[in-house]
Structure 1
Amino acid sequence: MDINALFTDEGLRAFTATVRDQHIRDAQQYGQIADIVRSRLEQTPIDGDRWLSKRLRAWKVARQLKAMQKASGEAASKAEALYATYVNEVLELPQRRAVAEAKRLERKSGRQAAVGAAVAGSLNRTVTALHTPQEQPAGTVPQARPTEFVTPDNPWQQWPMAAGDERPPSTINDYFAKGDGQ
């Protein structure tokens, strides 16, 4: 067998078909031998046997042949799995990678377009906000009258002092003089 032939599609297909067929034939032979051995041992008494001894002995011996049949069947399926895995992992891999790369580039360009649209929308909102009239910003309610600062000349003399020299409650006007900050 040429080892280099195993690395081609036709060579590996031929090898796995040969191995699969051999294991299937072996499995069939093991099954036939197991049936023959079981039936003959069930009919052959050995001195000192009880009523189920022959059947139990036949089952124990035939069970080993059935295990060989099962192993050969699994080996045949593993030969097919070998070919399928080779095709999937070696022969079709470059094509799958090219398709994945194309999808990745498509997603990337879609993301870039979405980011560009978001930036353009943000800039548009900024320009619109900067060109609105300054006298009344958008979305605000106009005030009926401007804010007034009302402070008495001397807050301590405005209210009469109660018994016990209590101080009247403080207001914001006590701390800021009239007109500060305008």
Structure 2
Amino acid sequence: MNIEALMTKQGMRDFTDEQRQTFTNDAVQVRQIAQIIQARLAHTEIEGDRPGAAGRRARKVSRKLNRVARLLEKAAAETEAVNAVYVREVLELPDRRAKAIEAREQRRDRRQERKALARSAAGTAITKSLTKTVHTLNGTEPVGNPQVSPVQPVPQYVNPQPFQFPGATAAAAQPVPNISDIFRDQEAM
């Protein structure tokens, strides 16, 4: 195998395809062998076997072969993953880094533009405020905010007929009744 050819995108793709195909074919063959062995051992009785012992023995052997087949299928999947990781982490990495650097530069430029715009806006506001202050102190410009209207005085409400409630003083002079007097009156009812 040529290592230089393997380190290219197509070379790695061919290698992983070949390995994946080999592992997948081997897994299929091992599963078929497991089924054949299980069927054969299930019908082969050894002297002294109890009922069903041959079937249990056949399943034990078959289980190990099925595990081998599963591991071969996992190996095929991992081989496919090798290609994906190689492409992403080795072949595409320089392009991703260049794009990240470019995006970082664009963000920095936009940030600088926003800062410059904010500085110019702040400078304009300060200049406007200082100009207004100078004009106000010299008496050339009216004081106050042009957007706010002058405050109108709020009229005070005056009651045209002051009224005293009758009996307010009489109720205040009357003593508060005792609670036992009230309940004694109700018990009598």
Does TM-score exceed 0.5, indicating one fold?
yes
User: Which amino acid counterpart does residue 136 of structure 2 have in structure 1?
Assistant: Q
Q: Distance in 1 between matches of 2:40 and 2:46?
A: 12
Q: Which residue of 1 aligns with 2:95?
A: 95
Q: Distance in 2 between matches of 1:99 and 1:44?
A: 67
Aligned Cα RMSD in Å?
A: 2.2
- What is the CA deviation profile of residues 12-63 of structure 1, one whole-angstrom value per residue up to 9, with x for unaligned ones? 2222122111111111111001101111111112233233322221111111
Q: Which residue of 1 aligns with 2:114?
A: 114
Q: Distance in 1 between matches of 2:143 and 2:48?
A: 111
Q: Distance in 1 between matches of 2:100 and 2:16?
A: 30
Per the TM alignment, residue 113 of structure 1 is displaced from its structure 2 partner at its CA by 1.0
Moved segments of 4+, more than 6 Å:
none
Structure 2: state its 5+ residue gaps.
151-189
Q: Which residue of 1 aligns with 2:124?
A: 124
Per the TM alignment, residue 138 of structure 1 is displaced from its structure 2 partner at its CA by 4.7
Q: Which residue of 2 aligns with 1:23?
A: 23
Q: Distance in 2 between matches of 1:114 and 1:34?
A: 70
State how many pairs are aligned. 142
Change in 2 beyond 3 A, CA 1:36/1:81: same
Normalization by structure 1: what TM-score? 0.70
Structure 1: state its 5+ residue gaps.
143-182
Change in 2 beyond 3 A, CA 1:138/1:112: farther
Comparing both structures, which one devotes a greater share of its residues to helix?
2
- Which stretch of the first structure deviates more once superposed, 45-54 or 95-104? 45-54
Per the TM alignment, residue 104 of structure 1 is displaced from its structure 2 partner at its CA by 1.5
SS at match of 2:136: coil
